[in-house]
C-alpha cells in the first residue's frame, strides 16, 4: 500500500476544489499535480461571485493558510440581500453588520487566482483535457489526455465538475436535468452606465419570483452586475422557440414577453443588459450519489455530488478538498485515507443532497427564504 507522501497524486480540474486540495497537500509536505483542460489560467471567464461560508469554505481556506488573505479580497458588503415581488416591492432587506463575516462574497476569478498563486510553480499543467482513466483498481492508474500524453498515478482525484470524466472510473451515473434553467446576462460599468440597476441591486443581491419565473441579480467586483433569469422550461427551450444562444435581440424579446406582467423597473434587467446571454440549465446527480470504494480513484465537489446552485457547491467542494487532503496527511496508506475521507464526505453530501432535492423549484417560489425569517441571517 502506498504511503501518501511518496505517492503520485493527480488532481483533475483546476477549480476551487482541485486547487484547494493541492494547496493543503503541499502545505503538509505531500506533492500533487493538477491537470486542467483550459489552455491557461485566463482562457475563459470563471463565472460570477460566490459566498464562502464560515462553516465550510472558510474552514478549508484556514487549513490552506489563506483565510486572512481571502478576507482582504472578499466583499462583506456583498452579504446584502433584497427579496422583492414582481411589482418591485421589497419584501425583505438584509444589510450586513460592519463586522459580519459569515459568508462574504468574492469573485470566482479572484478566488481561483488566490489559490493558484499559493501553489508551487509548475503544479498546474494546462491544456490537459482528460479522456479517461484506465488500469487496475489497485493501481497504478494510467491517465489519458486529449493532447496524446499519459501519466501514471497512484491516486486520481476527480475535481472536474458536473460532467466529470474521472467519475466514469467509479460510477456510471450522469447528472439529470432538474427542469429549471438559468439564463445569465451582464451589466458593465453600472455606476455610470446603469445607475438605476446599481441602486436596484445594491451591494449584494436582489431576487424576485412569481411561482413560474424568477430572477436573481448579483453585484460582482469591478462595477459589474450579473443577472440570472430563472425559468421552468425544457432543457432545449432556446432552440425549441426558434432561437439561437447568441441571438441576443431575439432572446431579449422572448424574455420581455415572458416577464410581461412584471414591473418596468425589473424588466429593465431584460431590456437594458449588455448581453450576450448564456444558457445554464440546472443539472443534479441523484440523491444520494455513492459508489463502491476504489483505492486509487475518488471524487470531490460537483463530480461527487452535483446539486442545485443554492450557495453550497463551491463551499462543499472546498470542504471536500480539505477533508481529503487532511486524510492523506494523517493516514499511513492512500487506501486508508480515501476510506476515511469518503466515510465523511458521502454522509455529508447525502444529507445535503436530500435537503436540496428538488430545490431548484424553490428558486421560483413566492415564499420568503429561511434567511428572511430568522433574525435577518
Residues 6+ apart with CB under 8 A from 93: 80, 81, 82, 83
Q: Is 324 helix (H, G, I), strand (E, B) or coil?
A: helix
DSSP 148: S
Q: Which residue numbers belong to the known binding site for NADPH?
A: 44
- Assess contact for 76 and 96: CB atoms under 8 A: yes
Residues 6+ apart with CB under 8 A from 71: 101, 104
Q: Which residue numbers belong to the known binding site for FAD?
A: 51, 108, 302
Cis peptide before 288 (omega within 30 of 0): yes
- Assess contact for 251 and 277: CB atoms under 8 A: yes
- Assess contact for 307 and 330: CB atoms under 8 A: no
Q: Which residue numbers belong to the known binding site?
A: 44, 51, 108, 302
How buried is 309 (Cβ within 10 angstroms: 0-12 exposed, 13-18 middle, 19+ buried)?
A: buried
> Containing H/E element for 183?
strand 176-187
Q: Where are the alpha helices (DSSP H) in the chain?
A: 16-27, 57-63, 67-73, 108-117, 190-193, 195-201, 237-240, 248-258, 264-271, 302-305, 313-330, 334-356
Amino acid at each position: 500500500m502506498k504511503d501518501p507522501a511518496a505517492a503520485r497524486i493527480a488532481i483533475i480540474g483546476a477549480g476551487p476544489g482541485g486547487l484547494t486540495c493541492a494547496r493543503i497537500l503541499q502545505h503538509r509536505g505531500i506533492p500533487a499535480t493538477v491537470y486542467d483542460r483550459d489552455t491557461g489560467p485566463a482562457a475563459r471567464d470563471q463565472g460570477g461571485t460566490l459566498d464562502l461560508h464560515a462553516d465550510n469554505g472558510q474552514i478549508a481556506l484556514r487549513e490552506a493558510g489563506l483565510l486572512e488573505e481571502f478576507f482582504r479580497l472578499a466583499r462583506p458588503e456583498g452579504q446584502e440581500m433584497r427579496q422583492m415581488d414582481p411589482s418591485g416591492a421589497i419584501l425583505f432587506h438584509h444589510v450586513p453588520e460592519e463586522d459580519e463575516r459569515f459568508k462574504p462574497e468574492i469573485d470566482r476569478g479572484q478566488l481561483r487566482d488566490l489559490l493558484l498563486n499559493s501553489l508551487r510553480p509548475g503544479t498546474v499543467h494546462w491544456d490537459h483535457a482528460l479522456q479517461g482513466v484506465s488500469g487496475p483498481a489497485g493501481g497504478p492508474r494510467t491517465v489519458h489526455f486529449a493532447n496524446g500524453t499519459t501519466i501514471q498515478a497512484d491516486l486520481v482525484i476527480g475535481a472536474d465538475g458536473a460532467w466529470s470524466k474521472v467519475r466514469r472510473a467509479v460510477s456510471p451515473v450522469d447528472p439529470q436535468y432538474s427542469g429549471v434553467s438559468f439564463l445569465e446576462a451582464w451589466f458593465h460599468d453600472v455606476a455610470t452606465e446603469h445607475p438605476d440597476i446599481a441602486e436596484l441591486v445594491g451591494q449584494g443581491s436582489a431576487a424576485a419570483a412569481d411561482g413560474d419565473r424568477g430572477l436573481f441579480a448579483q453585484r460582482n467586483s469591478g462595477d459589474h452586475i450579473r443577472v440570472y433569469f430563472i425559468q421552468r422550461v425544457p432543457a432545449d427551450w432556446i432552440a425549441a422557440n426558434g432561437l439561437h444562444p447568441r441571438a441576443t435581440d431575439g432572446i431579449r424579446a422572448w424574455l420581455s414577453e415572458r416577464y410581461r406582467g412584471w414591473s418596468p423597473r425589473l424588466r429593465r434587467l431584460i431590456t437594458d443588459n449588455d448581453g450576450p446571454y448564456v444558457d445554464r440549465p440546472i443539472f443534479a446527480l441523484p440523491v444520494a450519489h455513492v459508489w463502491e470504494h476504489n483505492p486509487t480513484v475518488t471524487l470531490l465537489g460537483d463530480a461527487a455530488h452535483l446539486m442545485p446552485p443554492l450557495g453550497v457547491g463551491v463551499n462543499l467542494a472546498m470542504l471536500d478538498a480539505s477533508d481529503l487532503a487532511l486524510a492523506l496527511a494523517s493516514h499511513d496508506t492512500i487506501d486508508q485515507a480515501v476510506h476515511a475521507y469518503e466515510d465523511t464526505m458521502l454522509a455529508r453530501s447525502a444529507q445535503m443532497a436530500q435537503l436540496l432535492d428538488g430545490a431548484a423549484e424553490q428558486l421560483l417560489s413566492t415564499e420568503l427564504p429561511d434567511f428572511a425569517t430568522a433574525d435577518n441571517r
